[in-house]
Amino acid sequence: MKGLVLRAPEKIAIEEVACPKPGADEVLVKVQACGICGSDIPRAYRDGAHNMPLIIGHEFAGVVEAVGSEASEAWVGKRVGVFPLIPCMKCVCCKIRKYEMCSSYSYLGSRRDGGFAEYVTVPEWNLIELPDKVDFDAAAMLEPMAVAVHAIRQAFRTKGYDVDDVSALADKKFVVVGLGTIGLLVVMFLKDLGFKNVYTIGNKELQKKMVTSLGVDEDDYCDINVWDEIDWIRGNTGVKGADFLFECVGNSRSLDACIYGATPEGVVCTVGNPSGDMDLHRHAYWQILRNQLTLVGTWNSSFTHEADDDWHYVLKRLQQGGIHPEKLITHRFTLEDIVEGFEIMRDKKEAYVKVMAEM
């Protein structure tokens, strides 16, 4: 079969490799779509993966073609999404079913072979069945959508709310700083919940077009190439600033914007993965203290096989037609040509949001 093999940083190519065979508790998935995550770019060209050679890709969906000796035959022929984190089931977090915080996990596409291939083996436990009306492109975006939902829930829970408490949060003000895939998905779900006071900060014309297509007023978008983020947040959301802010970049400047732009007793949710060291200067620290701000971290997403986990919440909204992640797909490639998609993202030679391989 064909697979996108990472042998070392900057050594990534489509190769002919052996088709994997499922272990006892695994299934063989014929991949139908796989998206490039922003984390795949440093993995492919700078940092490498935990184990190499490796087939990368963790945002994918497909059809089960075969099962191992201990997996249910009922999966054969089923359309599935795949939770990419493989928990150890033994650590403290796994015992309380907080699998996203497992201390000894494996991971499809970074620690073992992932989805940029014709076939991939995954544990049966990691499967979620797809309804017929959910297409494979949308299903391949279940993972980043669940990450966005998890961030929103983390922020809300600090104040005792969840995504069902819309009426209690109706007058709150929300700011999303950083409009890559995750930031745009946070916006998508906030608007899907019906919130009107959603403000966004980005740095590309495409991002502005995307947020306005999601229902954000053009005046509620700030281009950081033109405006100072802190002044803009305060000016647009009122003197007291915003109630919930999502930092989706991972740098000191955007974190400062959130801290200084928050209302007293506001919530700052740190979502973005930093590409380097970050600094917190004294005055920002004082702002946290004096305004009694809440800083909350978020990591990955909840997948427990229960109806209220993040993945099932996303799947429900997809079925109900409330969200349309396909709006964020800007580039589509075949598996054979997907390296071109990686190079577009690496070199930023074209504006992009989600780059997808379709098999």
pLDDT digits (tens, 9 = 90+) for 295-345: 999 999 999 999 999 999 999 999 999 899 999 999 999 999 999 999 999
Cα–Cα distance, 192 to 178 (Å, whole number): 19
CATH 3.40.50.720 intervals, the chain: 148-297
Q: Where does the pLDDT of residue 177 fall: very low under 50, low under 70, confident under 90, or very high at 90 and above? A: very high
CA distance 179 to 187: 9
Which helix (DSSP H) or strand (DSSP E) does residue 286 occupy?
helix 282-290
pLDDT of res. 234: 87
Torsion angle of alpha carbons 220, 204, 151, 86, nearest 10°? 160
Could you give phi then psi for residue 73, rounded to 5 degrees? -65, -20
CATH fold of the domain at 2-140+324-358 = Quinone Oxidoreductase; Chain A, domain 1 (3.90.180)
The whole-angstrom separation of Cα 132 and Cα 27 is 20
pLDDT (0 to 100) of residue 63: 98
Tell me how far apart the alpha carbons of residues 249 and 137 are, in angstroms, rounded to a whole number. Answer: 25
CATH 3.90.180.10 placement within the chain: 2-140+324-358
pLDDT digits (tens, 9 = 90+) for 44-97: 999 999 999 999 999 999 999 999 999 999 999 999 999 999 999 999 999 999
Q: What is the CATH number of domain 148-297?
A: 3.40.50.720
Q: Torsion angle, CA of 98/104/110/113, rounded to 10 degrees? A: -100
Query: 3-state DSSP helix/strand/coil percent for the chain, to nearest 5?
Result: 35, 25, 40
Over range 276-294, report the average pLDDT.
Answer: 95
What is the reported pTM?
0.96
Radius of gyration of the chain (CA): 20
User: What pLDDT digit, counting tens, does each position of 126-176 carry?
Assistant: 999 999 999 999 999 999 999 999 999 999 999 999 999 999 999 999 999
Mean pLDDT of the chain: 96
Q: Give mean pLDDT, residues 93-120.
A: 97
pLDDT, residue 239, reads 74
Sign for the CA dihedral angle at 213, 199, 184, 164 comes to negative
Classify residue 96 by burial, with Cβ atoms within 10 Å: 0-12, 13-18, 19+.
exposed
